[in-house]
Amino acid sequence: MENKMTLTDKVKALIEDDEHYTAYQIAKSTGVNQANITQLRNGNRKVERLSLAVAEKLGKFWEEQMMKKQMDKETRIYRNAKFIDQTEVDEFVNHYLTKYRDLISSSDDALTNHTQAVSCIKQMKRVLKAAPVQGFEINADQREIMETIIEEDYQEIFRQVKDSDFNNINVVDQWQLLLGNKHSKEYQEAKKRAKVDNETVDSARKALDDLQNHND
Protein backbone atom coordinates (compact mmCIF):
# COMPACT_ATOMS: atom_id res chain seq x y z
CA MET A 1 0.00 0.00 0.00
CA GLU A 2 1.11 3.54 -0.72
CA ASN A 3 2.28 5.39 2.36
CA LYS A 4 0.26 8.54 2.97
CA MET A 5 1.77 11.53 4.68
CA THR A 6 0.31 12.46 8.02
CA LEU A 7 -0.49 16.05 8.96
CA THR A 8 2.71 16.13 11.01
CA ASP A 9 4.74 14.90 8.03
CA LYS A 10 3.30 17.66 5.84
CA VAL A 11 4.05 20.39 8.35
CA LYS A 12 7.60 19.11 8.85
CA ALA A 13 8.16 19.00 5.09
CA LEU A 14 7.02 22.61 4.81
CA ILE A 15 9.10 23.84 7.74
CA GLU A 16 12.22 22.06 6.50
CA ASP A 17 11.92 23.49 2.98
CA ASP A 18 13.41 26.89 3.71
CA GLU A 19 14.86 26.96 0.18
CA HIS A 20 11.43 27.49 -1.40
CA TYR A 21 9.34 28.98 1.41
CA THR A 22 10.43 31.82 3.67
CA ALA A 23 8.93 32.23 7.12
CA TYR A 24 7.37 35.49 5.93
CA GLN A 25 5.75 33.83 2.91
CA ILE A 26 4.29 31.02 5.00
CA ALA A 27 3.02 33.43 7.61
CA LYS A 28 1.44 35.72 5.05
CA SER A 29 -0.27 32.83 3.24
CA THR A 30 -1.49 30.93 6.30
CA GLY A 31 -2.05 33.58 8.94
CA VAL A 32 0.27 31.70 11.31
CA ASN A 33 2.53 33.96 13.37
CA GLN A 34 5.90 34.36 11.67
CA ALA A 35 7.73 34.02 15.01
CA ASN A 36 6.20 30.56 15.47
CA ILE A 37 7.49 29.44 12.08
CA THR A 38 10.96 30.82 12.83
CA GLN A 39 10.99 28.97 16.18
CA LEU A 40 10.04 25.74 14.40
CA ARG A 41 12.90 26.19 11.97
CA ASN A 42 15.37 27.00 14.71
CA GLY A 43 14.37 23.92 16.62
CA ASN A 44 13.09 25.98 19.55
CA ARG A 45 9.62 24.59 19.06
CA LYS A 46 8.38 21.13 18.09
CA VAL A 47 5.86 20.51 15.33
CA GLU A 48 4.16 17.96 17.60
CA ARG A 49 3.42 20.74 20.12
CA LEU A 50 1.47 22.88 17.65
CA SER A 51 -2.25 23.29 18.10
CA LEU A 52 -4.40 21.33 15.66
CA ALA A 53 -5.72 24.55 14.11
CA VAL A 54 -2.22 25.86 13.36
CA ALA A 55 -1.01 22.50 12.08
CA GLU A 56 -3.99 22.23 9.74
CA LYS A 57 -3.30 25.68 8.30
CA LEU A 58 0.32 24.78 7.61
CA GLY A 59 -0.61 21.36 6.25
CA LYS A 60 -3.21 22.85 3.92
CA PHE A 61 -0.70 25.38 2.59
CA TRP A 62 1.79 22.57 1.90
CA GLU A 63 -0.87 20.53 0.05
CA GLU A 64 -1.82 23.52 -2.10
CA GLN A 65 1.81 24.14 -3.02
CA MET A 66 2.38 20.48 -3.92
CA MET A 67 -0.75 20.48 -6.08
CA LYS A 68 0.37 23.65 -7.84
CA LYS A 69 3.81 22.17 -8.47
CA GLN A 70 2.25 19.03 -9.93
CA MET A 71 -0.04 21.05 -12.21
CA ASP A 72 2.86 23.22 -13.35
CA LYS A 73 4.92 20.11 -14.04
CA GLU A 74 2.16 18.47 -16.08
CA THR A 75 1.63 21.66 -18.07
CA ARG A 76 5.35 21.98 -18.74
CA ILE A 77 5.74 18.35 -19.80
CA TYR A 78 2.50 17.28 -21.45
CA ARG A 79 1.36 20.59 -22.89
CA ASN A 80 4.65 22.27 -23.70
CA ALA A 81 7.01 19.27 -24.04
CA LYS A 82 9.68 20.93 -21.91
CA PHE A 83 11.79 18.57 -19.81
CA ILE A 84 14.24 19.11 -16.97
CA ASP A 85 15.80 15.64 -16.94
CA GLN A 86 15.99 12.33 -18.80
CA THR A 87 13.50 10.69 -16.43
CA GLU A 88 10.76 13.07 -17.56
CA VAL A 89 11.48 12.26 -21.20
CA ASP A 90 11.31 8.53 -20.50
CA GLU A 91 8.02 8.92 -18.60
CA PHE A 92 6.54 11.01 -21.42
CA VAL A 93 7.49 8.43 -24.08
CA ASN A 94 6.28 5.47 -22.03
CA HIS A 95 2.99 7.21 -21.25
CA TYR A 96 2.05 7.84 -24.87
CA LEU A 97 3.30 4.52 -26.20
CA THR A 98 1.25 2.68 -23.59
CA LYS A 99 -1.80 4.84 -24.20
CA TYR A 100 -1.53 4.33 -27.97
CA ARG A 101 -1.26 0.54 -27.64
CA ASP A 102 -4.29 0.48 -25.34
CA LEU A 103 -6.34 2.51 -27.82
CA ILE A 104 -5.41 0.33 -30.77
CA SER A 105 -6.24 -2.89 -28.92
CA SER A 106 -9.45 -1.55 -27.39
CA SER A 107 -12.84 -2.74 -28.59
CA ASP A 108 -14.47 0.59 -27.71
CA ASP A 109 -15.82 3.09 -30.24
CA ALA A 110 -13.33 3.31 -33.12
CA LEU A 111 -13.96 6.98 -33.83
CA THR A 112 -13.27 7.99 -30.24
CA ASN A 113 -10.16 5.85 -30.19
CA HIS A 114 -9.03 7.40 -33.46
CA THR A 115 -9.24 10.94 -32.08
CA GLN A 116 -7.23 10.01 -29.00
CA ALA A 117 -4.71 8.00 -31.02
CA VAL A 118 -4.13 11.00 -33.28
CA SER A 119 -3.40 13.04 -30.16
CA CYS A 120 -0.88 10.41 -29.05
CA ILE A 121 0.83 10.55 -32.44
CA LYS A 122 1.10 14.33 -32.23
CA GLN A 123 2.77 14.01 -28.83
CA MET A 124 5.17 11.40 -30.23
CA LYS A 125 6.12 13.83 -33.00
CA ARG A 126 6.71 16.56 -30.42
CA VAL A 127 9.00 14.51 -28.18
CA LEU A 128 11.00 13.21 -31.15
CA LYS A 129 11.64 16.82 -32.13
CA ALA A 130 11.88 18.48 -28.71
CA ALA A 131 13.94 16.04 -26.64
CA PRO A 132 17.15 16.15 -28.74
CA VAL A 133 16.99 19.95 -28.92
CA GLN A 134 16.85 20.05 -25.12
CA GLY A 135 19.83 17.71 -24.85
CA PHE A 136 17.99 14.48 -24.00
CA GLU A 137 17.96 11.08 -25.64
CA ILE A 138 15.19 8.71 -26.67
CA ASN A 139 15.73 4.98 -26.40
CA ALA A 140 16.58 3.66 -29.89
CA ASP A 141 13.94 0.91 -29.76
CA GLN A 142 11.25 3.33 -28.61
CA ARG A 143 12.26 5.83 -31.28
CA GLU A 144 11.87 3.16 -33.95
CA ILE A 145 8.45 2.17 -32.60
CA MET A 146 7.24 5.79 -32.59
CA GLU A 147 8.53 6.45 -36.08
CA THR A 148 6.79 3.30 -37.30
CA ILE A 149 3.53 4.36 -35.68
CA ILE A 150 3.78 7.82 -37.22
CA GLU A 151 4.64 6.59 -40.70
CA GLU A 152 2.59 3.40 -40.98
CA ASP A 153 0.05 2.80 -38.24
CA TYR A 154 -1.53 6.18 -38.79
CA GLN A 155 -3.06 4.99 -42.04
CA GLU A 156 -4.22 1.77 -40.38
CA ILE A 157 -6.11 3.81 -37.79
CA PHE A 158 -7.94 5.61 -40.57
CA ARG A 159 -8.80 2.33 -42.26
CA GLN A 160 -10.22 0.98 -38.99
CA VAL A 161 -12.37 4.07 -38.53
CA LYS A 162 -13.58 4.02 -42.10
CA ASP A 163 -14.33 0.30 -42.06
CA SER A 164 -16.14 0.40 -38.72
CA ASP A 165 -18.52 3.17 -39.72
CA PHE A 166 -18.89 2.81 -43.46
CA ASN A 167 -18.90 -0.94 -44.05
CA ASN A 168 -21.85 -2.20 -46.04
CA ILE A 169 -22.13 1.23 -47.72
CA ASN A 170 -21.63 1.34 -51.47
CA VAL A 171 -18.66 3.22 -52.89
CA VAL A 172 -20.69 6.11 -54.34
CA ASP A 173 -22.39 6.76 -51.00
CA GLN A 174 -19.04 6.56 -49.20
CA TRP A 175 -17.69 9.21 -51.57
CA GLN A 176 -20.68 11.47 -50.91
CA LEU A 177 -20.36 11.09 -47.14
CA LEU A 178 -16.62 11.67 -47.04
CA LEU A 179 -16.19 14.28 -49.79
CA GLY A 180 -19.58 15.42 -51.07
CA ASN A 181 -21.38 18.73 -50.49
CA LYS A 182 -23.37 18.37 -47.27
CA HIS A 183 -26.10 20.62 -48.66
CA SER A 184 -26.61 18.57 -51.79
CA LYS A 185 -29.52 16.24 -52.38
CA GLU A 186 -27.10 13.41 -53.20
CA TYR A 187 -25.38 13.77 -49.85
CA GLN A 188 -28.65 13.75 -47.90
CA GLU A 189 -29.87 10.65 -49.72
CA ALA A 190 -26.57 8.85 -49.13
CA LYS A 191 -26.74 9.73 -45.45
CA LYS A 192 -30.25 8.24 -45.18
CA ARG A 193 -29.24 5.04 -46.95
CA ALA A 194 -26.16 4.66 -44.75
CA LYS A 195 -28.14 5.43 -41.57
CA VAL A 196 -25.33 7.50 -40.06
CA ASP A 197 -25.57 10.68 -38.00
CA ASN A 198 -23.76 14.00 -38.44
CA GLU A 199 -21.24 13.25 -35.69
CA THR A 200 -20.14 10.04 -37.38
CA VAL A 201 -19.73 11.75 -40.76
CA ASP A 202 -17.86 14.70 -39.25
CA SER A 203 -15.47 12.39 -37.39
CA ALA A 204 -14.80 10.35 -40.53
CA ARG A 205 -14.18 13.52 -42.56
CA LYS A 206 -11.77 14.75 -39.90
CA ALA A 207 -9.95 11.41 -40.05
CA LEU A 208 -9.58 11.84 -43.79
CA ASP A 209 -8.33 15.41 -43.41
CA ASP A 210 -5.81 14.30 -40.77
CA LEU A 211 -4.54 11.56 -43.02
CA GLN A 212 -4.15 13.94 -45.96
CA ASN A 213 -2.36 16.53 -43.80
CA HIS A 214 -0.06 13.82 -42.47
CA ASN A 215 0.87 12.64 -45.95
CA ASP A 216 1.48 16.16 -47.33
Of 158 and 205, more confident: 205
Angle 175-179-184 (CA atoms, 0-180°, nearest 5)? 90
Position 73 scores a pLDDT of 94
Read off the pLDDT of each residue in 35-40 and give the average, rounded to a whole number.
95
pTM score, whole prediction:
0.59
Position 166 scores a pLDDT of 53
Position 64 scores a pLDDT of 96
**Of 196, 203, 151, 201, nearest to 181 (Cα)?**
201
Instruction: Summarize pLDDT for 130-149 with one digit per residue, the tens.
Output: 999 999 999 999 999 999 88
pLDDT confidence band for 111 (50 / 70 / 90) = low
Position 164 scores a pLDDT of 52
Does 1 have pLDDT greater than 50?
A: no
Instruction: Summarize pLDDT for 154-197 with one digit per residue, the tens.
Output: 565 556 555 555 555 666 777 778 888 888 888 888 888 887 78
Helix (H) or strand (E) holding 13: helix 7-16
Instruction: Summarize pLDDT for 39-65 with one digit per residue, the tens.
Output: 999 999 999 999 999 999 999 999 999
136 residue type, one letter = F
Of 110 and 150, more confident: 150
What b/e readout covers 48-70, taking b as 16+ CB neighbours within 10 angstroms?
eebeeebbebbbebbeebeeeee
Position 213 scores a pLDDT of 61
**Of 200, 80, 86, nearest to 136 (Cα)?**
86
